[in-house]
Structures are given as C-alpha cells and as structure tokens.
C-alpha cells in the first residue's frame, strides 16, 4: 500500500430532561482533516456497526424554498442509557465518516449514563455515506457548507423532537474540532432549539493564513525538549538545500522510501513533498497522547516524546538522517510500503469527482470547505516555526486548481464567515470552550473567558479534543478536572 496524504490537515473530533448534541468530527469526522490526516485515515476504518444505521430526510438546500430536492442523511441511535424523561445526546459528524464506535466509548457516554440520555449521532452532509448529490463536482459542492450543516442540525432536532415526543426537552450541543465550532454556532444561530453547547477544540475564528499552527508545533515540541524544534528546523532546512540539486534526488528517494523517483519540476512539487514530511510532526503533535493511541498495526504509540527522542539520537546520523528515520518509522508503524510524494498524483486524486474516488473519504470535500469558508492554511510564513517550503501561495493555488476558486474569493469567503459567526468575538450564552495547550488549533479558539456564561477551559499539556476521550489512569490531573468542570457547568445551565 502506498501512502498518499490529502493536504488538508483538519480539525477533529467530537453532551437533561435534555437533548445533548455532540457535534463531533473525530472518527465521526476526522478533525479538521488537514492535520487530521493521514495516519488517522488509516486508523479510522469504520468499525463493524453494532448500531443499525438509520436515515433521515433532509432538504438539499435549506435556503431555497423553491428547491424541493431531498436526500437521506445517515444517523445512529444508542438507547442503552435512556431513562424515560431523560435527556438526549446528539453527536454530529464532521469531515469524515460517522463511526459507530463513538456510540460505544467517549466522555459523552459517561455523561449519558449519569443522566439517562438517549444518544444520537448524525453524519455531516457530504461525508461518509451521507450523499446529497450524485457526485463531488464543484457544482454539487456548492451545497456543502457549515450553514447548510447547521440547518440540517436544526431540522433534525425539530423533526426528531416532534416525532419522538422530545419537544419539551432542553437540547445541548457538543462537538470537537470543526464540529466544536458547529456546536457553538448552533447555539448562536438557533438559540430556540439548543439550550447550551460544549465546543471542544473549536477553531471559531476563520483565517486564510494560519502559520500559528506551526508556531504551536514548535512550542509543543520544545515543551518536551528545547532542542527538538531546532533539530527539526536543521533537518528541514537541510532537505530544502538538497532539493535544489537534482543529483540528490536518487538518495532522497531512498532515504524517505518514496514510491517513485523524486521529481521536482515546480515549487508546487517541492512544497507538497515538504509539507508531507512535516505532517509527520504536525499530526503527532495534534494528537499527542491521544488515548486512542496514535498507534499503527505494530502497536507503537508515537508521541512527541518518541519523535523528539529520535531527533536527538546521534546514532541515527545528522538531523537530516534523523528526519528521514522519523518518516520511515511512521510508514513502518502503519504498514505503508512507500510514500507517494507526487504532487501530480495528489492533483489527480483531488480532482476526481466520483463518490468512489480516492479523495471522496473527505479530502476533496474538506479542502473545498477551507477554500469556500475557512482558510486554515498551515503555512510556513512565520520565522517562529520549524519547517520551510510550503507557503500560503502554495495552499491557495490548490483552491483554483480543484474548484476554480481564486485567492481573492478565498479571502472574501473567510471574511464573510467571521462576519456571520463573529470569530473570536462570538456573543451568545451557555457555551463552554475547552482547548488543550499542545493542540495547534487552540490558536483559533477561545482560550480565555468571554463572559461568565461563555467560559473557556484551557487544559495545559493536552492535545486535540482530549477531554472528549474516555478517562484513563494515565490522564493528567488537569484533564480529569476539566471533564468534571464541564459537567458541573452543564448541570448549572440545565437548571436555568
């Protein structure tokens, strides 16, 4: 199996007479795909369904009354904890297939058991098996947006509430990563339908250029070993120098176990290759100590500690050689035979508009959302980060190549998103914003209290959506306290 990445390091995952909506993206979606990335895609093979998939009729376009087209949205139900008169939790999917495994584990289920909740999980339009259109053409993707997804949420909540006799309940939205943003925005835009929200690791501020992501990667690596990001930078810079000389390409091909001879003909080729290798560190930092285990088939739990240990290991050679060793470790761990570093192959795959295409698992869809709504481009346009070679220009050019969306249109779309939702200046009530200090996405989230009923929970030493995972003995004390604090807030709000 060749290892090919979709360059969209994404966000991520995904809680009483009430309904809790968990708008979640991890495994339900995969967490801001471009960063969520690659290795997670290998992990998140959908588990055999213990819970039968069900289907809900949605409008294709909620904002055009003259358009009567409909489609079927997938959802799942877990009634194991439900007590008559109890709450209902709804986990909403994000940028990937809804994984029924999240109806078997997670903090939200611990809450559900305590309050006797009925649990739903709703898959996001255009991801997984929820196919509103016949293909993924740009014309079809015009119906993919956070606004349409929120309207899906609202309609599902309204009809489900009516049909199941739940209209008298309070609804609470939960989400992690992109769905964390949806959870906050659902409360913001549909306050009559949702009583409160838990917006975990939610990048509520849209930004075309997001070099801060890599700045947090630097700080997160340095938190393990101050020399680590410096060694990564030396390695990255050394690789950039070698890429200037075609005579080195044969050795680079062997060093990084590429599927075919390295070809660098344009800046896009080198940027794609450099970002792919940087992704080894970006992904591990984003999911550091992820208690699903950032593990491959060999069972190796790859953490910041592991990567920094390799980068400091003189026996592996110079920093460049250690960088290559990290890449090979990642491939070995996930049983990947070789790394596909071809930008042309990436363009080919991302341009395939079939639901059976290689990027239909979420890659083509999520990159479209970044081009049409969010930006989130993790560029090297900052001196305070460890990598070189993939600028904002490289990122935005993909929007034009895949969807005919210009750089100016991307900028306008991002401005409209912040204007519509408020960005950092969101104003609502009863929304809690948990974030982890290790997680690069916290740079676009709420990390300080806005108001008493818009509190932030900033968890030192934790990564993306850590508070959403099941508790374990190795958890940091502050993570356990954060889970308890969030539940206490919910209990207070449910009395209001």
* Annotated catalytic residue 475: no
CA nearest neighbour of 212 among 457, 474, 445: 445
Q: HEC profile for the chain?
A: CEECCCCCEEECCCCCCEEEEEEECECCEECEHHHHCHHHHHHCCCCCCCCCCEEEEEECCCCCCCCCCEEEEEEEEECCCCCCCCCEEEEECCCCCCCHHHHCCCHHHHHHHHHCCEEEEECCCCCCCCCCCCCCCHHHHCCCCHHHHHHHHHHHHHHHHHHCCCCCCEEEEEEECHHHHHHHHHHHHCCCCCCEEEEECCCCCCEEECCHHHHHHHHHHHHHCCCHHHHHHHHHHHHHHHCCCHHHHHHHHHHCCECCCCCCCCHHHHHHHHHHHHHHHHHHHHCCCCCCCCECCCCCECCHHHHHHHHCCHHHCCHHHHHHHHHHHHHHHCCCCEECCCHHHHHHHHCCCCCCCCCCCCHHHHHHHHHHHHEEECCCCCCCCCCCCCCHHHHHHHHHHHHCCCHHHHHHHHHHHHHHHCHHHCCCCCEEEEEECCCHHHHHCCCCCCECCECEEEECCCCCCHHHCCCCCCCCHHHHHHHHHHHHHHHHHHCC
- C-alpha 194/C-alpha 202 separation (Å) is 18
* Annotated catalytic residue 464: yes
CA nearest neighbour of 243 among 223, 229, 262, 224: 262
From 177, 220, 342, 428, active-site residue: 177
Q: Are 116 and 334 in contact (CB under 8 A)?
A: no
* Annotated catalytic residue 61: no
CA nearest neighbour of 398 among 426, 367, 441, 352: 367
CA nearest neighbour of 126 among 423, 359, 453: 359
From 269, 283, 439, 475, active-site residue: 439
Q: Are 102 and 121 in contact (CB under 8 A)?
A: yes
From 4, 131, 205, 464, active-site residue: 464
Q: How many angstroms separate the first and last alpha carbons of the chain?
A: 54
Q: Are 195 and 18 in contact (CB under 8 A)?
A: yes
Q: Are 437 and 461 in contact (CB under 8 A)?
A: yes
Annotated catalytic residues are 177, 439, 464
């Amino acid at each position: 199996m060749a290892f090919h990445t979709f360059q969209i390091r994404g966000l991520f995952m995904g809680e009483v007479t009430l309904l809790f909506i968990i708008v979640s993206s991890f495994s339900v979606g995969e967490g801001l795909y471009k960063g969520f990335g690659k290795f997670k895609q290998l992990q998140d093979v959908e588990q055999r369904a213990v819970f039968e998939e069900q289907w809900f009729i949605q409008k294709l376009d909620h904002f055009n009354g003259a358009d009567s087209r409909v489609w079927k949205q997938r959802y799942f139900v877990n009634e194991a904890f439900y007590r008559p008169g109890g709450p209902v939790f709804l986990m909403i999917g994000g940028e990937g297939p809804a994984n029924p495994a999240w109806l078997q584990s997670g903090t939200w289920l611990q809450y559900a058991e305590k309050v006797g909740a009925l649990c739903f999980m709703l898959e996001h339009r255009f991801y997984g098996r929820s196919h509103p259109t016949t293909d993924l053409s740009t014309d079809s993707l015009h119906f993919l947006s956070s606004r349409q997804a929120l309207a899906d949420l609202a309609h599902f909540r309204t009809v489900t509430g009516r049909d199941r006799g739940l209209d008298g309940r309070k609804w609470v939205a939960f989400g992690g990563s992109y769905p964390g943003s949806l959870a906050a925005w659902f409360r913001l835009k549909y306050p009559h339908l949702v009583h409160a929200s838990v917006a975990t690791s939610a990048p509520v501020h849209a930004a075309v250029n997001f070099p801060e992501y890599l700045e947090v990667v630097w700080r997160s690596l340095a938190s393990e070993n101050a020399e680590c990001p410096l060694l990564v930078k030396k390695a990255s810079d050394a690789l950039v120098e070698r890429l200037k000389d075609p005579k080195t390409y044969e050795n680079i091909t062997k060093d990084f176990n590429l599927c075919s001879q390295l070809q660098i003909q344009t800046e896009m080729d080198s940027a794609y290759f450099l970002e792919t290798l940087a992704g080894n560190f970006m992904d591990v930092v984003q999911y550091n100590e992820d208690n699903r285990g950032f593990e491959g088939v060999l069972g190796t739990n790859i953490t910041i500690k592991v990567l920094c240990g390799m980068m400091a290991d003189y026996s592996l050679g110079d920093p460049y050689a250690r960088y290559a060793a990290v890449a090979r470790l990642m491939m070995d761990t996930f049983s990947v035979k070789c790394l596909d570093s071809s930008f042309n192959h990436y363009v080919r795959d991302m341009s395939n508009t079939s639901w059976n295409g290689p990027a239909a698992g979420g890659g083509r869809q999520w990159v479209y959302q970044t081009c049409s709504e969010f930006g989130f481009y993790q560029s090297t346009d900052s001196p305070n980060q460890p990598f070189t070679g993939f600028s904002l220009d490289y990122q935005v050019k993909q929007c034009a190549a895949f969807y005919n969306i210009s750089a100016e249109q991307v900028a306008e779309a991002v401005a409209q998103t912040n204007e519509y939702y408020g960005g950092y200046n969101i104003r609502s009530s009863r929304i809690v914003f948990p974030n982890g200090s290790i997680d690069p996405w916290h740079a676009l989230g709420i990390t300080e209290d806005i108001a008493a009923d818009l509190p932030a929970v900033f968890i030192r030493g934790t990564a993306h959506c850590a508070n959403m995972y099941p508790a374990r003995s190795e958890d940091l004390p502050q993570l356990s306290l954060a889970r308890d604090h969030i539940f206490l807030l919910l209990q207070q709000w449910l009395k209001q």
